[in-house]
Structure formats: structure tokens, C-alpha cells
Structure 1
Amino acid sequence: MDTLLTPISLALSVSLQGLVLSLGLIVAIGAQNAFVLRQGLRREHVGSVVLFCAVADALLLTAGVMGMARALGERPGLANAMALAGAVFLAVYGWRALQRARHASQLRASEGGDGLSRGAALAQAAAFTLLNPHVYLDTVLLVGSIGAQQPAALRGWFVAGASSASVFWFVSLGFGARWLAPWFAKPRAWQVLDGLIGTTMLVLAALLLRHAFTGIFG
């Protein structure tokens, strides 16, 4: 009996380590989280956006554990190029959010969103996920390198635990946002949200530019 319990308890321990590490990194104010929250509040293609973000995180985690962490660590030029591309995207999105903050709008909780098509929502989710160098630094490099240190037989458990953190967070953020719908029925609330999102995006863009220029000229 002990010979069975030991490997199982070890696997669960490794899985829990991946879950806690991934959850600690993902629960933060960022471009991807802000976008998922906004889609959840608008009830606009929430399932598709949540599914995409969770699957993308799982694939990036798997790639990191399987060796991409080392590959990206050896190519600083690629990281700098991603930082520049991400900064441009975040700056444009942040400017648009600040423009929206100038005009009052409100959420009709009984209706679906009419702002983005499913394809456009998924395209923006992909941009927020794949054009953010911090996703690669945290998800691929940090989590991936820690997962790669686990014994080969336990790496799958580590990935499963880390991926379950992404699923839990994005489902909670996207579908839990509807509980805030009555508050966001007030036009002023949307202006505040868009203002915060826009400011966050511009700050992140500035940080990414600093990171890229430091890597190029530092």
C-alpha cells in the first residue's frame, strides 16, 4: 500500500506546486486579464475567450516545460522584438480605451454584447496573450524552467496543476464578472473601467519599451 501512496502523493505535491506557482503569477492586473474581465462584463463571446486563454496558457506551459524556456533564453533578440510588438499593440489599445472613457456607455445585462464579432474577440485575445513578453517570461521561462527540473515522470502532473490554475482563473474572471453587471449598468462605471484599462495598457506599453530598449542598447 505504501508503494502506491508514495508516488501518488508525490505526483499530487508536484501538481499543487504547479498550481500555486501559476496562480500566483496569473492573478495580477494585466492586459489579458483586463480584456477577459471586459468581455465578461459585456457577456460577449465569454466562453470562446476564456477557452482560448486557458488553452493558450496550457500550450505555453507545456512548451516551456518541454524545452522552449531554454530556447528563448538563448535568443534575447527575439524577446526584444516581442517586447516592441507588444508595446505598440498595448499603446493602441490603451489609447482606444481612453477614448471610450470620454463617452458614457452602459451594460444591458439582458443582451449580448454588440461591439466585437467572435473572430475579432479571439484575435484580440490572441494578441493580448501572444504579444505580451511577460507571458513568455513568466509562463514559459519561469514556470517552464521550474517544471523542467521535475523528474520526467512528474512533468505532466506539474503541467496539469499549472494549467488548472489558468482554467480556474479565466473561468472565474470571465463568468464571474456577470455578478458585477448591475453596477456596470451605470454609464460612469464603464468610463472608470475604460480609464483604468487605458492607463494600465499605456503603463505596460511604456514598461515594455523600456525593457526592449534596455535589451537592445543596454
Structure 2
Amino acid sequence: MLAAVLHGFLLSIALIMPIGMQNGFLLSQGALHKHWLGAVPAVITAALCDTLLITLAVIGVSAAAFHIVWLRWIFGIIGICFLIYMGWTTWRDEPSETQSTNQGVWTIKRQVTFAASVSLLNPHALLDTLAVIGGSASVYTTWPVKIAFGAACAAVSWIWFFVLMTIGHVTSRTAARMGAKRIINRLSALMMWASAVYLGYILYSFQ
């Protein structure tokens, strides 16, 4: 069982560290909020979504659902439309010097909605979970070992997301507040649009 925990821990670290849509979003939320706790809703939502995907992968449910063509297309199209829309609204966010420090940041509802979308509709996250974590879990034949492997994978997500938020929050304090917000908004919007394009490519590739 210890080997399975170590396997899950190291595997998840390798998968989660590259800065993609999900990681970039959490970094930006940590940077945009004046208080560290301001971005916690986004972090908890992303971690819960990762835990759900990992759980489904370990028990083998997500792999079956992913191969239902019409279901895959519905989720894919919703994800593309949502990413394009959120990218547009984020690009248009223009914090100014006259705004209060609490304006220009994302509300709890917006954080939760977007964190869920980039976690559950993120092609990188889905492929990593289904192909890599799900496939790795299949080598274990007993449920206690499978659960230990999955728990280690999920623990990495929780730890890493809080680390990302903290890094974003700390580094933002060294930059000009309004300028940093504007740059972060632009980069976030570009990442959203790039993810929408890539999600479309993934859908087309699975035909």
C-alpha cells in the first residue's frame, strides 16, 4: 500500500505542475485578491473537482462515460462556449486607480463557476485523469490499494492548489496593483481562448 501511495503522489506531481489553464487561473486569483483568503473558493472548488475526477477514474466510471460520443460532444461544446465567453468578459475587465481595492476581483460565485469549468471541462485534466491516473489505478487489484493510490493523487491537488494561490498572492504584492491586474486579466483571457481552441481539437481528434 505504501508503494501505491508513493506512486500516486509522484505521478500526480508530474501531471499537475505544468502551468495550464487550471493552474494559471488559480495563480491569477491569488494575485488579484488583496486578502489571501479571497481566492480560497476557487482553490476548494478546483480541488473538489479534481478529487471527483480522480475518484471516477480509479473506479473506472469516467473512462466509460468519456467514450459516449454524444455526451462527450455536449460537454465539449458547452466548455468551448463557456471558455470563449469567460475569456471575453475577463479581457474587458479594466481595473482603474479610482476603483476600491475590492473591485476588479472575482466574486465567490464567479470563482466557483469558472474553477469548476476549467477543472471538469479542461481537456488536459480529463486526459491526464482518464488515460494516466485511471490507467495506473487499473494495475492495482485490491480496493484498499486503489483507494490509497487515489487518495495520494487527490492530496497532491489540494496541496498544490493552495501553494499556487499563495505564490500568486505573494508575488502580486511586489507589482503595481492596477498594472498587475490588467496584465493578469489579459493573460487569463488568452489562456481561456487557447483552451477553447484546444478543446475543439480534442473533440475533433476523437471522431
Report the TM-score, using the length of structure 2 for normalisation.
0.83
Partner of 2:182: 191
Residues 137-216 of structure 1 correspond to what in structure 2 (within 5 A)? 137-152=127-142, 153-216=144-207
1:159 Cα offset (Å) = 0.8
Q: Is the 8 A contact 1:46 1:175 kept in 2?
A: no
1:113 Cα offset (Å) = 5.8
Whole-angstrom distance in 2 between the partners of 1:179 and 1:115: 16
1:146 Cα offset (Å) = 1.2
Partner of 2:64: 71
In structure 2, relative to structure 1, the CA distance for the partners of 1:146 and 1:69 (3 Å cut) is farther
In structure 2, relative to structure 1, the CA distance for the partners of 1:142 and 1:77 (3 Å cut) is farther
Gaps of 5+ in 1: 1-10
In structure 2, relative to structure 1, the CA distance for the partners of 1:48 and 1:191 (3 Å cut) is closer
Whole-angstrom distance in 2 between the partners of 1:27 and 1:127: 19
In structure 2, relative to structure 1, the CA distance for the partners of 1:86 and 1:64 (3 Å cut) is same
Q: Is the 8 A contact 2:16 2:157 kept in 1?
A: yes
Whole-angstrom distance in 2 between the partners of 1:127 and 1:112: 24
Q: Is the 8 A contact 1:81 1:212 kept in 2?
A: no
| Matching of residue 37 in structure 1 with residue 30 in structure 2 | no
Partner of 1:50: 43
Q: 69-78 vs 119-128, which deviates more? A: 69-78
Whole-angstrom distance in 1 between the partners of 2:205 and 2:141: 36
In structure 2, relative to structure 1, the CA distance for the partners of 1:97 and 1:114 (3 Å cut) is closer
How many residue pairs are counted as aligned between the two chains?
202
In structure 2, relative to structure 1, the CA distance for the partners of 1:34 and 1:113 (3 Å cut) is farther
1:145 Cα offset (Å) = 2.3
Q: Is the 8 A contact 2:32 2:181 kept in 1?
A: no
In structure 2, relative to structure 1, the CA distance for the partners of 1:120 and 1:202 (3 Å cut) is closer
Whole-angstrom distance in 1 between the partners of 2:46 and 2:182: 26
Partner of 1:99: 92
In structure 2, relative to structure 1, the CA distance for the partners of 1:215 and 1:94 (3 Å cut) is same
1:210 Cα offset (Å) = 2.2
Q: 168-177 vs 65-74, which deviates more? A: 65-74
In structure 2, relative to structure 1, the CA distance for the partners of 1:70 and 1:122 (3 Å cut) is closer
Q: Is the 8 A contact 1:50 1:171 kept in 2?
A: yes
| Matching of residue 15 in structure 1 with residue 5 in structure 2 | yes
Structure 1: which 4+ aligned runs deviate by more than 4 Å?
Answer: 111-114
Whole-angstrom distance in 2 between the partners of 1:73 and 1:90: 20
1:15 Cα offset (Å) = 0.9
Q: Is the 8 A contact 1:23 1:165 kept in 2?
A: yes
Whole-angstrom distance in 2 between the partners of 1:96 and 1:187: 17
Larger Rg: 1
The code of the aligned residue for 2:113 comes to A
Task: Work out which of the residue numbers 105, 109, 114 in structure 2 matches 1:124.
Answer: 114
Q: Secondary structure at the match of 1:45?
A: helix
